[in-house]
Amino acid sequence: MTWATLGYRARVSVPRRAFLLLSAASAVAGCAGGDGRAAPLRLATGPAGGPYGALGDRLAAELRRAGHPVQVIETAASVANLALLTEGRADVGFVLADSADDAVRAGRPVVALARVYLNYVHLVVPDGSPVRSPADLAGLPVSIGAEGSGTAVTAERVLAAAAPRRPVRAVRLGLDASIAALRAGRIAAFFWSGGVPTPALDAFARATPVRLVPLGAQVPRMRRAHGAFYEAATVPARSYGSQEPVATVGTASYLVCRRALPDADAHAVTETLFASRERLRAPDAPGGRLDRRYAIGTGAMPLHPGAARYYRSVHG
C-alpha cells in the first residue's frame, strides 16, 4: 500500500454560529482564518454508514455542541485517513492499530489521542461453503476490503499467515458491495473488520445463512511477523446465526491526529471524547470500550502531548 494521495468525499456540516469569532478557550480548530473566523477541525472518518462514519458523526456533533466547528471528511478509512493527516489535509481521524504502526515505522507525522475500541476481523462465507480456513481460499475470488481501508491491510496479512497454495483472486470492495457480491455469487468470501455485531452484516445474516471462518490460528503468526497489536479475540456464540463462538483476530481502533495539531486542540478533542462517551456509543464489541485506562494503550504510536495532559489531569 503506497502513501499516495487517496480520493475522498468531504461532507461539511458546520453550524452558522461556528463561523463567529470564538474565544481562545473554546477554539479547538487551531489557527484562525484571515478574516478572524476559526477554521473548522477536519475530522477524517470512514464510509457513510460504517462504524467510523457513525462514530465520527457523533463525535463531530459533540464537538459542535461544545462550540467547536468541525468539517467531517468521509473516506475509505484507515489508510486514506493516514494519508490525509500526513499531507496536512485532515487534523484528526480514525485508524486501525496495524495501519497506525505502519505509519510510525514510515516516520509519518501522526500521533495518537486515544485507543477507542476493539475491532473483530470477520471472514464471511456462505453457510454451505467448503471453506473452513483462509488457506482454503486459494484461487478463489475474495473481497479483502475497500481500497484505502485498514481492513484490506489486515486481510492481506491474514492471507499471508495462512499461506494458501495459490493466491486468492483479490477484489477490493467495501462492506455493502461485498455483501451484494457474495449474495450474487460473484465472490466466495469477504473480509470485514468491525464491531460485533456489525449492523449491516447482522441484517444480511438474518436473511441469508452465512458463516464466519475461524482465524485464531493466524494470530500468533501475525504477531511474530508484525507486532503485538494483533490480539486473540472471540466472536460470541449466536452472532450472525452461529451456535458456537468463533476465534478470530482483534485489532484496536485509534483516534489519531497530525503531530502539529496545537496542544489545546488535542486536549479539547480528547476531553470531549470522554465527556460524551455515553452519547458517542462506540461500536458494539466484546471488550471494546471508551475507557481512559484502555485509551492510553496506543502501542508504538505516541500520545499527542495535549492528549497526555488530559489523561494526567484525570489520573493524577
Residue 2 lies in a domain: no
Domains held by the chain: number: 2
- How far apart are the C-alpha atoms of 142 and 121, rounded to whole Å? 15
Residue 182 lies in a domain: yes
Claim to verify: residue 112 and residue 142 sit in the same structural domain: no
Question: What pLDDT, on a 0 to 100 scale, did the predictor assign at position 13?
Answer: 33
Claim to verify: residue 224 and residue 264 sit in the same structural domain: no
Residue 299 lies in a domain: yes
pLDDT in tens, 141-158: 999 999 999 999 999 999
pLDDT in tens, 263-289: 999 999 999 999 998 888 776 555 456
Claim to verify: residue 136 and residue 102 sit in the same structural domain: no
Claim to verify: residue 19 and residue 64 sit in the same structural domain: yes
Claim to verify: residue 51 and residue 107 sit in the same structural domain: yes
91 CB-contact burial (10 Å; exposed 0-12 / middle 13-18 / buried 19+): buried
pLDDT in tens, 47-88: 887 889 989 999 999 999 999 999 999 999 999 999 999 999
Claim to verify: residue 123 and residue 182 sit in the same structural domain: yes
Q: Give me 247's grid cell.
A: 476465534
Question: What pLDDT, on a 0 to 100 scale, did the predictor assign at position 50?
Answer: 82
Q: What are phi and psi of 171, to 5 degrees?
A: -125, 155
As beta bridge partners, residue 256 has 93, 112
CA torsion 76-228-197-136 (nearest 10°) is 80
Question: What pLDDT, on a 0 to 100 scale, did the predictor assign at position 27?
Answer: 37
- How far apart are the C-alpha atoms of 144 and 170, rounded to whole Å? 6
Claim to verify: residue 164 and residue 215 sit in the same structural domain: yes
As beta bridge partners, residue 92 has 43, 257
Residue 1 lies in a domain: no
Return the SS3 of 21: coil
Lowest mean pLDDT among 135-139, 185-189, 195-199: 195-199
- Residue 18 exposure: Cα atoms within 13 Å on the Cβ side: 20
Between 7 and 184, whose confidence is greater? 184
The CATH number linked to 153 is: 3.40.190.10
Which residues, in sequence order, are CB contacts of 136 under 8 Å at separation 6+?
Answer: 130, 164
Whether a cis peptide bond, with omega within 30° of 0, leads into 15 is no
Lowest mean pLDDT among 32-36, 135-139, 263-267: 32-36
Question: What pLDDT, on a 0 to 100 scale, did the predictor assign at position 293?
Answer: 81
Between 191 and 293, whose confidence is greater? 191
- With 50 as the cut, is the pLDDT of residue 248 above it? yes
Containing structural domain, residue 88: 9-116+254-315
Among 204, 219, 251, identify where a domain stops: 251
Cβ-contact 283, 102 below 8 angstroms? no
Mean predicted confidence (pLDDT) in 13-23: 29
Question: What pLDDT, on a 0 to 100 scale, did the predictor assign at position 1?
Answer: 36
